[in-house]
Amino acid sequence: MTTRRNRKHGFTLIELLVVIAIIAILAAILFPVFAQARSKARQATAISNQKQIALAFMMYAQDFDETLPFLTWYDSYNNQGVGEDYGNGWFFNGAIAWPISLTPYHKNDTRNGNTSSFLISPGDAQRGNFSKPEFKLMLKAANWPRWEEYSEDALTNARIVPLSFCSNYFLSYSHTQNPDGSWRVGTAYTGPRGLASIASPANVVLVTEYGVGDAWSNGRTYSNYYCALGYGGVDRWRNGRRYSEGRTFSFTDGHAKFLRDPVKIEELTGSLQTQVREAYARINVFDIPDRTAP
């Protein structure tokens, strides 16, 4: 009786190369799909965050005669010698900016390094807002943890007041702008807007996403809790674009959504702010309110 031994065959070189090629093709097909799905998930989280922020704004306004909280630098600081002096000619007038003043309405701020706050966008590793050193006076007034460590470095400050969003500069009457984007010198302080003054709230941006950058080409990392479309150079606006070539917005009627950037920011030349603002105006998402009167 003869026994037949089964001979085990391994892969030939050709078969092994075919298998590797198939795996490589599948990976090339699937990896972009996975990346897109991840971006969509982050985008959905950011929209949810925006809705929570807008809700906090609306609750604040209900308590303050339909008036928005303090949104910009000139709402809280002046160079007229009124308030607490930082020592460089700027004075804090006691008006606490929205990322801090809204805290009682959402109870989810970024104190003590809270990175689960909805004031932080998924995909934003830098979180470099509140960059100006004078903000230390505001943080001190609000008894913010570690306020005494505050400095000029945006990425250091991001560990003290992490923030991924900026408010619409045009929603304050303080330090107004002309239609061409130039600043109107000597504007009297009148403070934030009342909601009733906004003719088309569904088309007026309340808050959007922002990043850090070199605003004045001086090597300083910089960002802020307020912004105008395209203002301060390419980097800060471009670095707020975190999901599939776009960013999330909330509006003064309380709704939020994602919008793809209508222009390739990197390709713009000349007056960046004016061009970006006009591009968004064409898709009817940034109707700039009349700024000539309260």
Which amino acid is residue 149, in one-letter code?
E
* DSSP-derived pairing of the beta strands 84-85 and 91-92: antiparallel
Q: How far apart are CA 169 and CA 228, in angstroms?
A: 5
Residue 292 has pLDDT above 60, yes or no: no
pLDDT score of 239: 85
Rounded to 5 degrees, φ, ψ at 85 are -85, 130
- pLDDT of 47 reads 92
The answer to whether 195 and 57 are in contact (CB under 8 A) is no
DSSP H or E stretch at residue 227: strand 226-227
> What digits encode the pLDDT tens for the residues 74-92?
889 888 888 888 888 888 9
Distance CA 222, CA 112 (A): 22
Looking at residue 181, its pLDDT comes to: 54
Q: List, in sequence order, the alpha helices (H) in the chain.
A: 13-63, 73-76, 98-101, 103-106, 135-141, 154-157, 234-238, 272-282
Instruction: Return the minimum-mean-pLDDT range out of 56-65, 173-182, 192-201.
Output: 173-182
- pLDDT given at position 165: 93
Q: What is the mean pLDDT of residues 46-60?
A: 94
pLDDT of residue 256: 94
Q: Domain coordinates of the chain in residue numbers?
A: 47-282
pLDDT value of residue 178:
57
Highest mean pLDDT among 56-70, 119-133, 145-159: 56-70
Instruction: Report the range of poorest mean pLDDT among 15-19, 60-64, 227-231.
Output: 227-231
Least confident of 11-15, 137-141, 168-172, 195-199: 11-15
Q: Report percent pLDDT > 70 for the chain.
A: 78
Residue 5: predicted pLDDT: 56
Q: What is the pLDDT of residues 23-35, one digit of tens each?
A: 888 777 766 665 6
What would the pLDDT profile of 116-140 be if each residue is shown by its tens digit?
899 999 888 888 888 888 888 999 9
Q: How far apart are CA 117 and CA 111, in angstroms?
A: 9
Provide the whole-model pTM.
0.81
Mean pLDDT of the chain: 80
CA distance 161 to 179: 33
Region of 219 (left: φ > 0; alpha: ψ -120 to 50; beta: rest) is left
**What is the rounded average pLDDT of the residues 191-220?**
82
